[in-house]
């Protein structure tokens, strides 16, 4: 199957996502901050990144990391990014998949937390199939 990288400061959530996706046959690594996620990507390119937005040190760190990944196509070769976030609960901005844009919200897909784990599994499968990595 695929190698997935989960980048989320909520260790319990990251481990739950990891368990669910490993049950689907994927290899999953969890990083708890954007710097660790970037370092992990530099060591091994994932087939898909599952990324949170809000981190304790920076409420927009996930957006910043997504922009870094998308802007460095040579290193990261168009790795798809699935953003899972509770940003709309903390800041009622109404982010959704309609806001996906290479400059503003440079991700492949977007899901709000709390996420239904069956929806997550299906979304991951669809993104991997589209990217050719399943």
pLDDT digits (tens, 9 = 90+) for 66-80: 999 988 888 898 899
Question: Can you give the pLDDT at residue 88?
Answer: 46
pLDDT, tens digit, for every residue of 62-117?
989 999 998 888 889 889 999 987 654 554 555 555 554 565 556 888 888 889 99
- Look up the pTM and report it: 0.87
Other CB atoms within 10 A of residue 125 CB: 16
CATH code of domain 3-131: 3.40.50.2300
Enumerate the domain spans of the chain: 3-131
What is the model's pLDDT at position 108? 87
Could you give the strand order of the β-sheet that contains 48-51, starting from the edge strand earlier in sequence? 27-31, 3-7, 48-51, 81-85, 109-112
């Amino acid at each position: 199957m695929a190698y997935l990288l989960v980048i989320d400061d909520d260790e319990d959530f990251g481990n739950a996502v990891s368990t669910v996706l490993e049950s689907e046959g994927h290899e999953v690594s969890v990083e708890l901050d954007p710097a660790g996620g970037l370092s992990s990507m530099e060591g091994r390119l994932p087939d898909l990144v599952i990324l949170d937005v809000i981190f304790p040190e920076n409420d927009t760190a996930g957006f910043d990391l997504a922009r870094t990944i998308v802007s460095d196509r040579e290193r990261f070769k168009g790795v798809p990014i699935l953003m899972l976030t509770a940003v709309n609960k903390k800041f009622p901005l109404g982010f959704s998949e309609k806001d996906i844009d290479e400059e503003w919200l440079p991700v492949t897909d977007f899901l709000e937390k709390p996420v239904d784990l069956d929806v997550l599994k299906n979304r991951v499968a669809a993104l991997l199939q589209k990217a050719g990595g399943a």
